[in-house]
Amino acid sequence: MLVPIPDGQGRRRWSVRGAGRILAVFEHPESGRLIVTEARCPHAGAPIQDGWIQHDSVVCPWHRYRFDPADGQCRNSTRYRLPVYPTVVHEGRWYAEVPFNPLGDRGYPRGRHNPPE
């Protein structure tokens, strides 16, 4: 399903709830395109939205594993892949194509960038 991605209001990373998930959103520092991933690191569950983009990788804040923003493959270990979701721009607004999670977004780590509930 299409999840609308609200403007980051000047932030380079933030999180969004949608499709029964918490999504991490990164603005690529050079191209300005948005990278949308699952918010839980596949290594040990860190809130990946507290990470950053460096040398065209998404970097996890806990153990600094790096993930390819194109396919989510971990550059440190072939055992891990971060789900990365395709994005589209329609009438000036960003959306991510995300499979619905019927289990809901409980169990996700709370990152610094999660909006207050």
Point out which residues bind ligand FES (CB under 6 A): 41, 43-44, 46, 60, 62-63, 65
CA distance 1 to 40: 19
Q: Which is nearer to ligand FES, 8 or 109 (CB)?
A: 109
Closer of 25 and 48 to ligand FES (Cβ): 48
38, 45 contact by CB (below 8 A): no
In the complex, least distance from residue 6 CB atom to ligand FES, rounded to whole angstroms: 25
For the chain, the 3-state helix, strand and coil shares in percent, each to the nearest 5, are 5, 40, 60
22 or 94, CB closer to ligand FES? Answer: 22
